[in-house]
Amino acid sequence: MAVQVPSRQLFIDGEWREPILKKRLPIINPATEEIIGNIPAATAEDVELAVAAARRALSRNKGKDWATAPGSARAKYLRAIAAKVTERKTELAKLEAIDCGKPLDEAVWDIEDVAGCFEYYADLAEGLDAKQKAPVSLPMETFKSYVLKEPIGVVGLITPWNYPLLMATWKVAPSLAAGCAAILKPSELASITCLELAEVCREVGLPPGVLNILTGLGPEAGAPLASHPDVDKIAFTGSSATGSKIMAAAAQMVKPVSLELGGKSPIIVFEDVDLDKAAEWTAFGCFWTNGQICSATSRLIVHTGHTISGKHLKNGNQIQ
């Protein structure tokens, strides 16, 4: 799979910037264990620059450039990003495959979903305009009430390695659609395509500071981002242990968090199901993305009365 790994810096305030401490981390192809490049390693000093850039992006032109701009204006950028991702789909999929180790076909589908996600949130951004200042009916005519939807502010987004660009997009796209400014910290194990998202944003002219991307280690880049007083919310997908630390850090400032943490997702087999199909889809779910997925169907909850491998299930109806 011939593809050149670009050499990138941190993406801060619409520009590529070398980490202040000039640190970099190797990129290891999990299929061959070969070093195929390197990524910049952000530290607390770089987090300070990114947060400052994000806050400037929200206040620029009294917010009219982004935070209080019409949703339709933000939607244009989201659609431009989607178009550019689609244009680079083959290249991005190859980079994803050699970075996180998933089969190329699955990586292609992921990149297609990335473009679709930006399109989806572009539609929602446009829909926000019609919902602004929606009146709320009150029993007393002397009072007026309406709903005003506002961005929460600067958001820190910390994402995992198994769906590097797609899971980042699940957080980036809604943040931008809502009018927030974002700082993305992808997993140090798979950051290539997230840095390419920065290049896409630069090419489409996304306003400086609206999206900043910091690669690096969790303790050195993720922790200072999660605990920064000028970050208004943290969204994290990853392990329960790290999620607990993020929640504890956010609690010191009563900062809202969104956490999607580890678990063991079951497949539920009801009484009237076709068991052959259930077995087929269970196997599919177990081995999709090589099993490295939060919704892997590696645990079954089966309706009492089914016969599995010659055993009639009565009360003990969980199969590991």
Residue 40 φ/ψ, nearest 5 degrees: -70, 145
Phi, psi (deg, nearest 5) at residue 293: -155, 140
The residue among 208, 6, 219, 222 whose CA lies nearest residue 98 is 6
* Nearest Cα to Cα of residue 236 among 249, 226, 248, 221: 226
**Catalytic residue chosen out of the listed positions 150, 260, 271, 280:** 260
User: What is the DSSP secondary-structure string of 241-290?
Assistant: HHHHHHHHHHHTTT--EEEEE----EEEE-TTS-HHHHHHHHHHHHHGGG
For 104-109, the CB contacts below 8 A with 24+ separation are 104/1, 106/288, 106/289
Measured CA to CA, the distance from residue 92 to residue 72 in angstroms comes to: 27
Question: In degrees, to the nearest 5, what angle opens at C-alpha 110 toward C-alphas 261 and 72?
Answer: 90
Active site residue 260: yes
CA distance 213 to 12: 7
Phi, psi at 269, each rounded to 5°: -105, 110
Which residues are marked as active site? Answer: 260
